[in-house]
């Protein structure tokens, strides 16, 4: 018996996805099945994907998939902090860093000296 080529009709999985039903079935099968994606990308990114695939000994398709997974994780992580808020946090951290650079070494040196003196007086009665 000869294998039949895949049909061009929508599968039950695609119908369920478009109808909003069968979420469990879609989730289970989508985690094990890879789907083709078509995209137009810049030449530089294409070369970078090719180099990555060659360096890791994987197919170009697998490398592009890994790039997309990393991009998805990055985009999701950016959703947590608004860009304006991130700038405020960075400015505040820069201010704290500047203060620690100015005050930190003498303060920590003084604490080290005091702890040394305290340990010396505790050893000798």
Residues of the chain with pLDDT under 50: 1-29
Q: Does residue 72 sit in the same domain as residue 101?
A: no
Q: Does residue 91 sit in the same domain as residue 116?
A: yes
Which range marks the domain in which residue 72 is found? Answer: 39-80
* 24 part of a folded domain: no
Return the half-sphere exposure (C-beta side, CA atoms, 13 A cut-off) of residue 109: 7
* 60 part of a folded domain: yes
Query: What is residue 25's predicted lDDT score, i.e. its pLDDT?
Result: 47
Query: What is residue 19's predicted lDDT score, i.e. its pLDDT?
Result: 45
Q: Does residue 76 sit in the same domain as residue 91?
A: no
Q: Does residue 44 sit in the same domain as residue 76?
A: yes
Helical segments of the chain, H only: 12-19, 23-32, 43-56, 60-78, 83-123
Q: How many separate domains does the chain show?
A: 2
Query: What is residue 39's predicted lDDT score, i.e. its pLDDT?
Result: 87
- Closest by CA to 74, choosing from 87, 66, 1, is 66
Query: What is residue 111's predicted lDDT score, i.e. its pLDDT?
Result: 82
* 11 part of a folded domain: no
Q: What is the pTM of this model?
A: 0.41
Q: Tokens in use for 125?
A: 């009665």
Query: What is residue 50's predicted lDDT score, i.e. its pLDDT?
Result: 94
* 34 part of a folded domain: no
Q: Does residue 112 sit in the same domain as residue 88?
A: yes
Residue 52: CB partners within 8 Å, gap ≥ 6?
A: 63, 66, 67
CA atoms of 104 and 96, how far apart (whole Å): 11
- Closest by CA to 65, choosing from 27, 43, 39, 28, is 39
Query: What is residue 2's predicted lDDT score, i.e. its pLDDT?
Result: 45
Query: What is residue 21's predicted lDDT score, i.e. its pLDDT?
Result: 47
Examine the fold and report which residue of 80, 95, 113 is the final residue of a domain before the chain moves on.
80
Q: Tokens in use for 50?
A: 């090719």
């Amino acid at each position: 018996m000869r294998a039949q080529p895949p049909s061009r009709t929508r599968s039950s999985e695609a119908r369920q996805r478009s109808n909003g039903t069968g979420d469990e079935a879609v989730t289970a099968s989508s985690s094990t099945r890879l789907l083709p994606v078509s995209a137009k990308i810049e030449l530089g990114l294409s070369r970078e994907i090719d180099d990555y695939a060659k360096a890791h000994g994987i197919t170009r398709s697998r490398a592009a998939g890994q790039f997309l997974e990393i991009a998805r994780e990055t985009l999701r992580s950016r959703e947590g902090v608004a860009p304006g808020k991130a700038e405020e946090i960075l400015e505040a951290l820069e201010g704290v860093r500047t203060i620690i650079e100015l005050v930190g070494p003498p303060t920590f040196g003084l604490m080290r000296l005091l702890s040394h003196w305290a340990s010396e007086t505790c050893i000798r009665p």
